[in-house]
Amino acid sequence: MSPDQPGAATTTSLHVPCLENPKQDEVAAHLDKSGFVWLDYGELSDEDLSQLSELIKLHPLTIQDARMFRQRPKIEEYEGYVFLVVFGADPGTAAGGPLLREVHMILSGDYVITIHRRPFGALDELRKRYHDQAIRSEQFLVYKILDAITSTFVPVLTRVDDDIDDLEQDIVDRASADDLQRIFSLKRDLVAMRRVITPMRDMFARDAERLAEIPGLEKDDELYFRDLYDGLIRVSDLVDSYRDLLSGATDMYLSTVANRQGEINKQLTIIATIFLPLTFLTGFFGQNFAFLTGHIINHTWAFWVFGIGLLVASVIGLWIWFRRKGWA
């Protein structure tokens, strides 16, 4: 059952401040209140990270990981908190562009911290939605953050599905080099998504229960985190299916281009074959043999019969032969 549906298990509601790029004194004030808080950082300098680490006592390895992006999805446990690397996607990015959005998360019983270098509309919308709004539990907010991040792949895959349909129709109508470029752009998107979706799927399959056991985190229904795994399975299957469709579109493009080149070669061959006897005849009768000029091509009728007539007859004869062969 979805956590938003009526009838789901309920707990005492609470209000969680959702702060965007907060100052250190603001963070300290919220932590002193002993209430759960969400800190979302779109810009976090090394100095700010060092101050934050002193405030919430982060391990040096966590500080190092939080600074270094372009990592693989992972979950690492430390004393009192868990560090995660998860990925989403930006549906507004054009095919072949910088699609992925890497998010670092630090979870404890007192806070959830998200760090991302690129703007991420999904987190912005979620933060505005739940800022000071009553929610069912701390775990529920953690689930909604992870769900908002991983769900961003769905609209991207919907766009890819539509692009593949349009691409196949364009290839059937008239294949061009632009179609091949679109295929490569879509393939790059799918490869990028598969590179992070498969590890995240395995990560949640193996370690989702560890998120529900973070010390001090108010517990709720653990099925929420299992739902993340189910969603990633569906996304992973869609990525593999679309990769197969793009491989088929590539084969269709190559076949279409090869067939078009075959038609062009056939037409050129027909033209060359027609001109072959014409070249022979004009070359033969164009020689200055005394016998030809003195006894054969010495009247007007001979010019029309042997000069023009043989040329026209050879063209007509070859055309009839091509038609019978089905070449023209």
- CATH superfamily of the domain spanning 14-257: CorA soluble domain-like (3.30.460.20)
What single DSSP character describes residue 57?
T
Cα 261 to chain centroid distance, Å, stands at 31
Residue 178: predicted pLDDT: 85
Rounded Cα gap, residues 133 and 136, in angstroms? 10
Tens digit of each residue's pLDDT (9 = 90 or more) over 252-273:
888 887 777 777 777 777 777 7
Answer left, alpha or beta for residue 88, where phi above 0 means left and psi between -120 and 50 means alpha.
beta
State pTM to two decimals.
0.74
User: CA nearest 5: which of 164, 237, 214, 227?
Assistant: 227
Residue 281: predicted pLDDT: 65
What are the strands, taking DSSP E only, across the chain? 14-15, 18-20, 37-41, 74-78, 81-89, 100-108, 111-115, 134-135
Using the structure block, give the residue that is written with the tokens 């061009």: 176
The torsion angle over the Cα atoms of residues 291, 292, 297 and 299, rounded to 10 degrees, is 0
| Domain spans in the chain, listed from the N-terminal domain onward | 14-257, 267-325
Tens digit of each residue's pLDDT (9 = 90 or more) over 19-62:
888 888 888 888 877 778 899 998 788 888 888 888 888 889 98
Residue 255: predicted pLDDT: 83
Tens digit of each residue's pLDDT (9 = 90 or more) over 272-299:
777 777 777 666 666 655 556 666 666 7
Do 322 and 328 contact (CB within 8 A), yes or no? yes
Residue 91: predicted pLDDT: 87
Tell me how many helices (H) and strands (E) the chain has: 11, 8
Q: How many CB atoms lie within 10 A of CB 89?
A: 26
The pLDDT-based confidence of 11 (bands split at 50, 70, 90) is very low
Do 193 and 99 contact (CB within 8 A), yes or no? yes
Tens digit of each residue's pLDDT (9 = 90 or more) over 166-213:
888 888 888 788 888 888 999 999 999 999 999 999 888 887 777 777
